[in-house]
Chain A
Amino acid sequence: MKRRTGVIIFGIVVGVLIALAVVVGIVALVRLDVTGKRGSGLEKAFVYDIQELVTIDPNLILYEESGQAIRTGFKAAHGIALGVDGRIYVAGDKAVEIFEKSGTSSGRIELAGAPRCLTVADDGKIYIGVGDHVEVYDGRGKRLASWGSLGEKAVLTSIAVFKEDVFAADAGNRIVVRYDTAGKVVNYIGKKDPDRNVPGFVVPSPYFDLAVSKDGLLRVVNTGRRRIEAYTFDGDFEFSWGEASTGVKGFCGCCNPVNFAILPNGGFVTCEKGLVRVKVYDSGGIFAGVVAGPEQLVKGGVCRVCEFPAESQASGFDVAVDGDGRIFVLDTIKNVVRIFGKIKGQ
């Protein structure tokens, strides 16, 4: 009798155990998230929510967009420069489009290759970075010279002229090439050299900008370090400013600022990609304010941040500044030039 009771109890226990295992197994199977619909399940602290950074304090915005944007007509615009006469030069596709101050087109220079950058000298000559070399044109679009290739890896992303010197930023080789106006290489700037305290350029993406300041020093963006560095024309590293930060005062992401321009007062206008921001710093690199943030640089009427690699690469806006301090932003997503002026009272 005792044995029989034991057998019955054992049977009940086994039955309950099996039933429990079956139910738990079915629940586990049903709750299995094979499509990843429920997300990672990580807490909010682990979520990289860039949307929080989109909104910028209105008190920090010093500029407003003035007038109609200028349509470049390009499918892929890359660089902008201003002539001393106030004309606007935009490089894109396989051409350079020239616009009057009013925004009307006044000429076009057809190129054999795709330009990435350009600058206009005081004498009206246009220096264009086309792939691995520099081409020089006069104001009417006549080609004056085509300088030699800087090598298979060369990708010219910025160019600047100062008196008798021409500086070209080669993102592929991560170096700045100093030419004379005849196209002869004078020296290289920025090659990593601990003995000379030259840190070397870290260029993770094809954005590498430069400009010459009124103080006679060359400014080069070291995007990987998220700062702007100052060099003498002979290649001595002088100082730098800028810090990596998602906050409005710093530069966000892997490699920013992508482009910059120098204001008449010696300050800087910077453009960041990804989290698209155009900001202003004083000549010492102290944050001064914002020209436009993601909410101002709207796309499709909806405030958004560039989330995909291709979009992020396309969001590397270029910038130029005229003598009145107006800021010309080349919107490389919409392929238009947007002009910003200071808000009255700021």
Chain B
Amino acid sequence: MVRPGYIINRMAVFLVLCGVALGAERFPPPEFVETNHQLPPINQITDVTPRSDIYEYIDVGVLLAALGLSSYLVLRKRSRRAIFILMVFSLLYFGFWRKGCICSIGAIQNITLSIFDPDYAIPITAAAFFLLPLVFTLFFGRTFCAAVCPLGAIQDIVLLRPVSVPKWLENMLRLFAYVYLGAAVLFAATGSAFVICRYDPFISFFRLSGSLNMLILGACFLVVGVFIGRPYCRFFCPYGVILRQFSRFSKRRVTITPDECIQCGLCEDSCPFGAIREPTAEWPVGYYEKSKKRLAYLIILVPVLAFLCGWMGFAVRPVMSRMHERVRLAERIYLEDTGKVQDVTDASTAFRATGQQTKELYAEASKIRDEFGLGGWLVGGFIGLVIGLKLIGLTVRRQRVDYEADRAGCLACGRCFEYCPQERLRLKNAKEIIGES
């Protein structure tokens, strides 16, 4: 039970703090006598009205509705056109209207920070944006990627002349996404930076402002995206990495055909994302024995790879930790104090003005670097594990009798539907039924 004395003490402390704040505002704002400029009312200067909470709940509501509608359009309606319209809506709403923030991809960092920093309270919107697409993916596949994600939408719209990416290259490039995820989690966990947001290539378009370099980067992604379907989603999206794993276990997911596959092969080249798996041939003679041996070697290799990559992650901690501003500052102060640089920076001058001891700064930076050491082991180990499992995945031969959408890689865009003669038949029948009625 909370004692009344405790509450009174806390309130007294609160009032004292408020007193300090009031004391700081004792001097009135300046008067602009010459220009007769009138300052707006003081509450408008000091109290910038935040965005009303209701809009955040509306965002979550729109997300929920869009996910539901997307799932319906992908699984029941099976309409590429309707999916495209929803995609455009999502681009306009979550992209240009909400300026790309908050987004599910960036929410990974909020979740991470809330786990590692007890002082950070995660906004409910961020939690919802992170969790809702995962829940929907678990039930319906990647319907979030299909028509709700604004980053996916902007790339999907520019995809005009798709070319296929060789499988080996696709598998290799996809590793970037795992590295990016690991780095994003590490930097968020150490409180260094939200790199996903910082390096979001499309945010400059959504906000209609940004640095020239980010605009160029975004433009490059779009240029590549004209030919290679959704390059960011496939090769870099850290949230896509998580969605891929959830999608493997999804209860329902996209099927190319609404009925039985007649193996006509017409859908074979319909997917610009290389997510259609062909029926497999019979195993060649002796293949089983060979692959069994290879698998055994790879299983042994997995921990070795994890250790090696973990060690590499640990070894690059001095470089990685520079992402944290305190480490950067400590290094700068060291260079200045040892006479290795002659000039000073704004940050170093500001630090010296605080009167804080250099030793304290070094100790703080050293602690952060140690955190990066541990994080480097974990992230590196994770990447090594992914590489190992990827190699195992390539070795294991799966039997398939029909053309199937890849459980993990299918973005549920619905492009393949119309290529399927069974689908066309279904649509024809549906039209006839409507005509008769």
Provide the residues of chain B in CB contact with A202, threshold 8 Å.
Answer: 30-31, 33
Q: Quick one: closest A residue to B217, CB to CB?
A: A28
- B198 is contacted by which of A34, A37, A153, A206 (Cβ under 8 Å)? A34
Q: Say yes or no: A307-B217 contact (C-beta < 8 A), given A22-B224, A29-B199, A224-B31.
A: no
Q: Say yes or no: A32-B214 contact (C-beta < 8 A), given A14-B161, A310-B353.
A: yes
B223 touches A21 (CB 8 A): yes
B167 to chain A, nearest CB (A): 17
A200 touches B161 (CB 8 A): no
**CA–CA, A24 and B30, complex, Å:** 49
**CA–CA, A146 and B216, complex, Å:** 69
A25 touches B220 (CB 8 A): yes
Is B6 positioned at the interface, with any CB of A under 8 Å from its CB? no
Q: Say yes or no: A153-B353 contact (C-beta < 8 A), given A21-B224, A200-B33.
A: no
Is A238 positioned at the interface, with any CB of B under 8 Å from its CB? no
Q: Say yes or no: A14-B227 contact (C-beta < 8 A), given A31-B213, A307-B349.
A: yes
Q: Say yes or no: A29-B213 contact (C-beta < 8 A), given A199-B33, A310-B353, A311-B353.
A: yes
A171 touches B27 (CB 8 A): yes
B156 to chain A, nearest CB (A): 18
B27 touches A205 (CB 8 A): yes
Q: Say yes or no: A224-B33 contact (C-beta < 8 A), given A155-B26, A311-B353.
A: yes
**CA–CA, A346 and B293, complex, Å:** 100
Is A5 positioned at the interface, with any CB of B under 8 Å from its CB? no
Is A172 positioned at the interface, with any CB of B under 8 Å from its CB? yes
Is A8 positioned at the interface, with any CB of B under 8 Å from its CB? no
Q: Say yes or no: A32-B31 contact (C-beta < 8 A), given A14-B227, A172-B26, A308-B353.
A: no
Provide the residues of chain A in CB contact with B198, threshold 8 Å.
Answer: 34
**CA–CA, A190 and B243, complex, Å:** 70
A24 touches B26 (CB 8 A): no
**CA–CA, A315 and B214, complex, Å:** 42
CB-defined interface of B226-238 with A at 8 Å, one 1/0 digit per residue? 0110000000000
B231 to chain A, nearest CB (A): 9
**CA–CA, A305 and B214, complex, Å:** 37
B401 to chain A, nearest CB (A): 32
In the complex, how many residues of chain A place their beta carbon closer than 8 angstroms to a beta carbon of chain B?
35
Is B300 positioned at the interface, with any CB of A under 8 Å from its CB? no
Is A204 positioned at the interface, with any CB of B under 8 Å from its CB? yes
Interface residues of chain A: helix, strand, loop or mixed (majority): loop
Is A18 positioned at the interface, with any CB of B under 8 Å from its CB? yes
Q: Which of A164-182 contact B (CB under 8 A)?
A: 171-172, 174
Is A17 positioned at the interface, with any CB of B under 8 Å from its CB? yes
A22 touches B33 (CB 8 A): no
**CA–CA, A225 and B35, complex, Å:** 12
Is B374 positioned at the interface, with any CB of A under 8 Å from its CB? no
**CA–CA, A199 and B32, complex, Å:** 12
- B30 is contacted by which of A35, A204, A310 (Cβ under 8 Å)? A204
**CA–CA, A14 and B28, complex, Å:** 64
Q: Which of A218-264 contact B (CB under 8 A)?
A: 224-225, 254
A224 touches B30 (CB 8 A): yes
Provide the residues of chain A in CB contact with B44, threshold 8 Å.
Answer: none
Q: Which of B21-57 contact A (CB under 8 A)?
A: 26-31, 33-34
Q: Which of A155, A205, A206, A308 has the most CB of B within 10 A?
A: A308
Q: Which of B27, B193, B211, B212 has the most CB of A within 10 A?
A: B27
B163 touches A14 (CB 8 A): yes
**CA–CA, A70 and B46, complex, Å:** 43
Is B328 positioned at the interface, with any CB of A under 8 Å from its CB? yes
CB-defined interface of A21-51 with B at 8 Å, one 1/0 digit per residue? 1101100110111110100000000000000
Q: Which of B142-166 contact A (CB under 8 A)?
A: 161, 163
Q: Say yes or no: A308-B350 contact (C-beta < 8 A), given A25-B221, A202-B31.
A: yes
Provide the residues of chain A in CB contact with B30, threshold 8 Å.
Answer: 202, 204, 224, 254
A17 touches B33 (CB 8 A): no
Provide the residues of chain B in CB contact with A206, threshold 8 Å.
Answer: 27
A247 to chain B, nearest CB (A): 19
**CA–CA, A123 and B228, complex, Å:** 92
Q: Say yes or no: A200-B31 contact (C-beta < 8 A), given A25-B221, A32-B211.
A: yes
B202 to chain A, nearest CB (A): 13
Provide the residues of chain A in CB contact with B26, threshold 8 Å.
Answer: 153, 155, 172
Q: Which of A245-297 contact B (CB under 8 A)?
A: 254
B269 to chain A, nearest CB (A): 14
A149 to chain B, nearest CB (A): 14
**CA–CA, A276 and B147, complex, Å:** 62
A29 touches B217 (CB 8 A): yes
**CA–CA, A259 and B188, complex, Å:** 50
Q: Which of B30, B198, B328, B349 has the most CB of A within 10 A?
A: B30
- Which A residues fall within an 8 A CB radius of B? 11, 14, 17-18, 21-22, 24-25, 28-29, 31-35, 37, 153, 155, 171-172, 174, 199-200, 202-206, 224-225, 254, 307-308, 310-311
Q: List 21 A-B contacts (CB under 8 A).
A: A11-B163, A17-B223, A18-B223, A18-B224, A18-B227, A21-B223, A28-B212, A28-B214, A31-B213, A32-B211, A37-B345, A155-B27, A172-B26, A172-B27, A204-B29, A205-B27, A224-B31, A225-B33, A307-B353, A308-B350, A308-B353
Closest 3 CB pairs of A and B: A25-B220, A28-B216, A204-B30
New A-B contacts (17) at CB < 8 Å, excluding given A29-B213, A202-B30 = A11-B163, A18-B223, A18-B224, A18-B227, A24-B220, A25-B216, A25-B220, A28-B217, A155-B26, A155-B27, A172-B27, A174-B28, A204-B29, A224-B30, A224-B33, A225-B34, A308-B350
